[in-house]
Each structure stands twice: as structure tokens, then as C-alpha cells.
Structure 1
Amino acid sequence: MPQSDIRSPAPDGLEPTAPTGVGTSRDSEQDDSRTTNRRRRSSVTGITLSLASSIANQSGAGIGALAFPSIGPVGVVAVRQIVAAVVLGIVARPSVRGLRWPQVWPVLALAVTLSMMNLSLYTAVDRIGLGLAVSLEFLGPLSVALFALRRPRDWIFAVTAGIGVYVLVLPGPSTDYLGVALGLLAATCWATYILLNQLVGQRCAGLKGSALATGLAAALYSPVIVVLAAEGSLWGKTLVYTAAAGILASAIPYAADMMALRHLPAGTFAILTSLNPVWAALAGMAFLGQFLTAHEWLGMGCIAASNIAVVISQNHPAKETTKTRAHSARPNERRRGTPRHSGQARNG
């Protein structure tokens, strides 16, 4: 009998001892399984929060647009910011104590970005409709997702999205170019919002940073509220519509987005939020009776196709890129082990 199979008899009442290394291997497998399950649950949580944020955001925008005839886009944005600030203030109870400049400047920048984003978007909605305005605004998160990609060939998705936007708008004599420009401004603000919100979430605990930014944005619009209240415009259905817009399109998305960014990379978050044109089109039909034409659906289809392509591309790690880098190194460097020049880009 081979020596490795010989085992000493176990003392009475004790089980035979397992071979050395078996328990350690099983523990390692269990740890790997638990880690995988935690990552999966974290991803599901992030995706759920992101989708809930998008649906609530567009539903709130559709409901808020019902108040445009009474108080205009500026009034809706003002009330929306006030409601969002109150709700997040109650939930987060933010304090400026202990804040340092590395925490303060992202909060200030986020407040300004929120103010510009909401005003430009709602004004665009008033001029060109909810579905078209949000479809243009989506270029912001999509641009963040595209910059997260590594391979030059992935930029074909940007071309596809560009074609989709052109088909969606179909520029002509009757095109509201100011409305289109406002939609593009909202896109720029949204891209900035994604990056700043992630930074605020990293530097400020809980909802503190988001609540402070929302409160500052509300302060910027407080003169508008004073004027509307003096005119007696904030009453009845108008107040209900704007309050609903504040909760659905501000308070819920701001909190959900910041929590989602703690479970998802910025690129994945941007891809999920780029589905907003679909939710906006459905909200426009449900709340505003805005039905898209054939070319608008076609343009949105191109946009959705680019989103799907980006998702597929990001789900495949760039293994071939690593191999390409290894093979593209200079022959004398691989043979002699010469260190790379300090000024050379790592991916160059």
C-alpha cells in the first residue's frame, strides 16, 4: 500500500482527520462564493435603484409639465427644487460642520449643475416636447459611457447614436433650434452631474452632500417662489403638479442615483440612465398626450441600439487589449527587460 494512504486510527470519539489542505480549499471556495453573491446582490441593487430613479424622474417631469401654462418652466423648476430640498433635508439632516474644501467645492458645483440642468431641460420640454428633449439630454450619460470604453472601434456606437439623434430631430425650417440647443445644454449638465454626484457620494457620508447641493439649488430659485406666491399662482392643481414633480423628479432620483453609484461604476450607471428617452416617451404619452411620429421612433430605436451595443461591449473585459499591449512592446524591451520611459502613456 502506498505510504500516502496510511492513516493512524483515530482516538475513540473523534472523527478521522481530513487530509491537509482539504479544509483550507473548501473555506476558500466558500469565501469566493460569498464574495460572488455579494457582488451580484450589489449589482442588482444598483440596477434597481438606477431604473427606479429614471422612471420616477420622467414621470415627475411629465406631471410637472402640466403646470407650464400657469407658472412656466422656471416656476415648475423653482417649486421642484424647494420640495426636493425640504424632503432631502428631513431625511438626511445635513450639516456643514466639519466640511473641508475638498468636500465643499463638489457640493457647490453640483448645486449649480442641478439648477442649470433642470431649467434647460424643462424649457426644452416646453418648446420641443418631453420625448425629444430627454432624447437629446441622454447624450450626456451616453458620452460618459463612451469615454469609459477603451477600444477605438467602440466609437461606432457614438456614430450610431448621432444618426439616431439626427433622424429623431430631422432639422428643417420648422425645427425649434433653440429648444434643441437647450436639450444639448441639459445633456452637458447631465454628464457633469453624473461625475459630480459620484464624487460627492465618495466624499460626503450618506445623503449629506446631495441634500446640501439640493438646498443650495433651491436657494438660487427662492426669488422665483416669492414672486409666484405674491401673484397667487401657487394654488390648487398647480401646487399639486409641482409638488409631485419635486418628489418624483428631484428627491427620489437624487437619493437613488447617489446610492446606485455606490454599487455601480459610472459607465454602467450612465448606460442605464440613457434609457431615459424610452421612459420620457411613455410619460409624454401618459401625462401629456404627446405621441411620437415614425421617424422619432426610428431615431429612438437607433439610440437604443447604441445603448445595447455599449452594454455588450462593457460586459466583455478587454482581454485582447492586454494581449495587444504585450505584443506591441518593442522587441528589445521584451528581451532585455528595459523599463518603459516615464513619459510614455501606459496604453500607448
Structure 2
Amino acid sequence: MTNANSGYGRVAARVPPQAWFGVSAVFHYLGPSFAVLLFPAVGVLGVAWFRVASAAAAFCLIASPIRTLRQADWKGRLLLVGLGLCLAVMNTSFYLALDRLPMSLVAAMEFVGTIAVALWGLRTGRNLIALILTVLGVAVLIDVKWASDPMGLFWSALNALLFVGYIVLGHRAAANGADQGVERLGAAMVIAFIALMPLGFVQAVAVLDQPLLILAGIGVGLCSSVIPYICDQLAMSRLPRASFALLLALLPATATVIAAIVLTQIPSFRDLVGIALVMAGVAIHRPLR
């Protein structure tokens, strides 16, 4: 539970956890949209490096990752290393999959893993109905077209598996409140930066003389790994794991709304039906305590 007397704890307690998740959901799609635009100029691994590097730098300013690493016991350090490696490989495999496959397919495969987490925490028939509605809604929203790119499918499957790991490890990081969760997230991001340094820096260094690309890369990091991950911690500190996993079904609906507003891609009747099913599932879902 969140400690309401702490800094992030007070912030988390003032706003419903679903609202924090909503902010995270918006940036969950803004970040990748910016990243895909940078792929031709920076390279996939270079963009992944900029994302993690700028996020690690931001967390060094708003948290104390080095102190968190020093003060953690061996179990805490194991959690931080696990979360950090998970973030590094998950973000990289997500971008490698997007470089080869449509985002709809990658998102669909990513959601399969979250279904398993939601099923693990089911305790009532009401929540089973909620889960069925959200799955139907996502199936309607995402017109999945299978791909024949084995490497792309491998990266997408790896991202889906590690996304489940992020949910599990992220909840453990937030178990003692939002403050410790954000501090642990910062330490994990520094570990992710160290792990990714040998791979992504080679591509990133080629554009270090282009300020606009550097600023764009920093923007990707802030939109993809700082704002949404902090909001996730604020939500995770107050929501059980299964409830958070079910809320992830909102992501396709969020993507549809963002596309309509930013890209003037007006949703079809099918899209509206899918959004309605997802919203209905979330509405009748009863959080587990």
C-alpha cells in the first residue's frame, strides 16, 4: 500500500490509480510514435539507447538511484538487476519488432501476456466476465494480420514475455509504496542503461553532432520511459497485479483515440464497438484487495 505521508505517496493518494494509468496509457503510444519516426535517421538500437540513456539521466535528477543500489540488501539488488535487464531487453525487442511488424500485431501479442497475469489473479465470476469483455474488445479493435517474418515474430514474442516480467517486477518494486517504487525504478533504469550501452551507443554516436536528433531522442526517453513508468508506479502502488493487468486492455482504445485526435484517423463503427467492450469490462471489474 502507498504511504500517504511520503512525497510520491501523497501524490499517488490524491488521484485515483486509474487516472495515473490513463496518463501512462497516453504516453505509451506517443513515445513509440516518435521513436518509429527516428528509426531511419538514428537506427533501431540507437533510438533504444537514447530512450534508456535519457530516462536514466532524468531519474538521476528526480531520484537517487546510486544510493538506492548501495542501500539495498541482496534481495533488493536482485530485484533491481532483474527489473533493469527486463527494461533494457524489453524496450529493445519492442523497437526491433516494430521495425519489422505492424504495431497492431506487436500490440496484440503483447496483450496475450497480460491476459495470463489477469487470469492468475481472478477470484470472482464478475472479474471473469470483465476479462472476457476486454479480450473481445481488444480482438475487435486489433485487426491482426499474421506476418511471415520469423525474426520479427521472435522479437515481438520476447517483448510480450518481458512485458509480463515488467508487470510482476514493477509491482514488487512498488510493494512498499510509490516513493520506494520510483527510487527502485530509477536504479533499475541506470542498470538498463549500463546493459544497453555496448549495443546502442554505436548507432547513437553517429548523430551526436545533430542537436535536433538528440533532442528528439531525449523526447522519446521522457515520453516512453519516464512519464509512463512513473505513472505506472503510482498506479501499481495502489492496484493489485491482476487489476493493473486488466487495465492494460485500455491501451488499444487509447491508441484509437490518439489516432483520431492527432492523426485525424476517425474510428470506424467496429473500432467504437471494440472500445465500448473494453470500457464495459473495465467498468464491471472489481479490484482485488
Shift of 1:218: 0.7
What is aligned with 1:79? 50
Report the count of equivalent residues.
272
> Cα distance 1:187–1:67, how it changes in 2: closer, same or farther (>3 A)?
same
Q: Does 1:192 align with 2:170?
A: no
What is aligned with 1:161? 135
Shift of 1:274: 2.4
Unaligned runs of 5+ in 1: 1-40, 318-348
CA deviation digits over 1:268-316, x for unaligned, max 9?
22222321123334556777x696997xx8589558736733652436x
Q: Which segment is superposed worse, 57-66 or 123-132?
A: 123-132
Counterpart of 1:202 in 2: which secondary structure? coil
Shift of 1:194: 1.0
> Cα distance 1:115–1:290, how it changes in 2: closer, same or farther (>3 A)?
farther
What is aligned with 1:309? 281
Q: Does 1:143 align with 2:116?
A: yes
Shift of 1:44: 4.2
What is aligned with 1:257? 232
Q: Does 1:245 align with 2:245?
A: no
Unaligned runs of 5+ in 2: 1-11
Q: Which segment is superposed worse, 191-200 or 303-312?
A: 303-312
Choose from 102, 106, 114 the match for 2:75. 102
Whole-Å Cα distance in 2 between the matches of residues 142 and 83 of structure 1? 31
Question: TM (normalized to structure 1)?
Answer: 0.66
> Cα distance 1:114–1:299, how it changes in 2: closer, same or farther (>3 A)?
farther
* Equivalent residues of 2:112, 2:160 under 8 A apart: yes
> Cα distance 1:155–1:46, how it changes in 2: closer, same or farther (>3 A)?
closer
Q: Which segment is superposed worse, 63-72 or 43-52?
A: 43-52
Whole-Å Cα distance in 1 between the matches of residues 207 and 43 of structure 2? 14
Rg (Cα) greater in structure: 1
What is aligned with 2:7? none
Higher helix share: 2
Q: Does 1:210 align with 2:181?
A: no
Q: Which amino acid aligns with 2:221?
A: G
Question: TM (normalized to structure 2)?
Answer: 0.78
* Equivalent residues of 1:77, 1:118 under 8 A apart: yes
Shift of 1:89: 1.2
Matches within 5 A, 1:225-244: 225-232=200-207, 235-244=210-219
Whole-Å Cα distance in 2 between the matches of residues 304 and 189 of structure 1? 28
What is aligned with 2:31? 60
What is aligned with 1:45? 16
What is aligned with 2:4? none
CA deviation digits over 1:317-339, x for unaligned, max 9?
8xxxxxxxxxxxxxxxxxxxxxx
